[in-house]
Amino acid sequence: MTSVCVIGIYVDDIDKAVEFYCEKLGFKEAQRYDDGCIVRLENDGPPVILERVEKPNKTQYPGKSQIVLGIETDNIEKAAKEMSSKGVEFLQESPQAFVAGFVMAMKDPSGNVLELLQFTNE
């Protein structure tokens, strides 16, 4: 059996990334490695590893094959409002319906796409 044990995210500015994921999304910094070039973040799911790279991501969303980090909430409008008040910029102005519920996409400071998701029980 296989399982996800960690999620790796490449970022071009480790300090901006830590600020975004911790202060705006609620992750907690757990440990720094390799002179601060790698940071482990904790949340309610698998740990997230931020690793510094030279260039930011130029991902196009949606429409290209890519990995997107999904953050689940039970109230997407409330969560989006709270995140927006902390400076998170969403790619849509309001939740978008999709087959499994509602979604709002955002990008981190390095251009990585994240989706705020509310799944329906139907």
Instruction: Give the CATH number, domain containing residue 44.
Output: 3.10.180.10
Scan for tokens 């989006």, then name that residue: 80
**Residues 6 or more apart whose Cβ sits within 8 Å of residue 80:** 90, 95, 104, 116
Q: For 7-66, how does the pLDDT look when each residue is reduced to its tens digit (9 = 90+)?
A: 999 999 999 999 999 999 999 999 999 788 899 999 998 999 999 998 877 777 777 777
Asked if residue 90 is part of any domain, the answer here is yes
pLDDT of residue 62: 77
Is the CB of residue 10 less than 8 Å from the CB of residue 17? no
Alpha-carbon distance 107 to 24, whole Å? 12
> Domain count of the chain?
1
Range of the domain at 56: 7-119
The 10 Å Cβ neighbour count of residue 117 is: 20
pTM of the model: 0.86
Which position has the token pair 């998701």? 117
Q: Which residues, including other chains, have CB under 8 Å from residue 23's CB and lie 6 or more apart?
A: 86
